[in-house]
C-alpha cells in the first residue's frame, strides 16, 4: 500500500507562484490562470502526494553535496521541495531561465 504525504506550501513558494501569475497576467490573464492551474495541479498530483521521491534531486544543489531537495519540472518552471517523514514541503517555484543556483543557495542554505 502506498504512503500518502501531506503537501505543505511554504510562504515563499506561494509568493513565487503569485509573482509568476501576476507577471503573466500583465500580458495574458488567460495564460496566467492556465499557468496557475498547471503548477498547482502538478504539485498536488499523485507525483507529490503518493510518490515524491520521483522528482529528481536539484542538480545545482547536488553539485554542492546537498541531496535533500528535489524538483518537478513544468517548463520553464521548477517546483523545489523537500520530503520530511509524511510531509512534502514545497519551498520554491522558480523560472528555470533565472540563475537558479544563486536563488536556491540563498533561500535554502543561508537563511534556514
pLDDT tens for each residue of 74-112:
999 999 999 998 999 999 999 888 777 777 767 766 544
Percentage of the chain beyond pLDDT 90 is: 54
Q: In sequence order, what are the residues at sequence separation of 6 or more whose Cβ sits closer than 8 angstroms to the Cβ of residue 45? A: none
Asked if the model's pLDDT at residue 34 lies above 80, the reply is yes
Helices marked H in the chain — which ranges?
A: 11-27, 29-44, 46-49, 59-62, 100-104
Architecture of the domain delimited by 6-110: 2-Layer Sandwich (3.30)
With CA atoms as reference, report the closest residue to 34 among 43, 25, 47, 46: 25
Q: Give the pTM.
A: 0.84
State how far the Cα of 52 lies from the Cα of 54, in Å rounded to an integer.
Answer: 5
Mean pLDDT of 18-46: 90
pLDDT, mean over the chain: 86
Q: Give the mean pLDDT of 63-79.
A: 91
Amino acid at each position: 500500500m502506498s504512503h500518502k504525504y501531506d503537501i505543505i506550501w511554504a510562504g515563499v513558494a506561494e509568493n513565487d507562484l503569485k509573482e509568476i501569475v501576476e507577471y503573466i497576467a500583465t500580458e495574458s490573464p488567460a495564460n496566467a490562470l492556465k499557468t496557475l492551474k498547471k503548477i498547482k495541479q502538478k504539485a498536488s498530483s499523485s507525483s507529490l502526494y503518493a510518490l515524491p521521491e520521483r522528482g529528481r534531486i536539484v542538480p545545482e544543489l547536488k553539485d554542492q553535496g546537498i541531496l535533500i531537495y528535489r524538483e518537478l519540472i513544468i517548463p520553464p518552471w521548477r517546483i523545489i521541495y523537500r520530503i520530511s517523514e509524511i510531509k512534502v514541503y514545497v519551498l520554491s517555484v522558480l523560472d528555470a531561465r533565472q540563475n537558479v543556483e544563486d536563488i536556491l543557495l540563498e533561500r535554502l542554505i543561508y537563511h534556514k
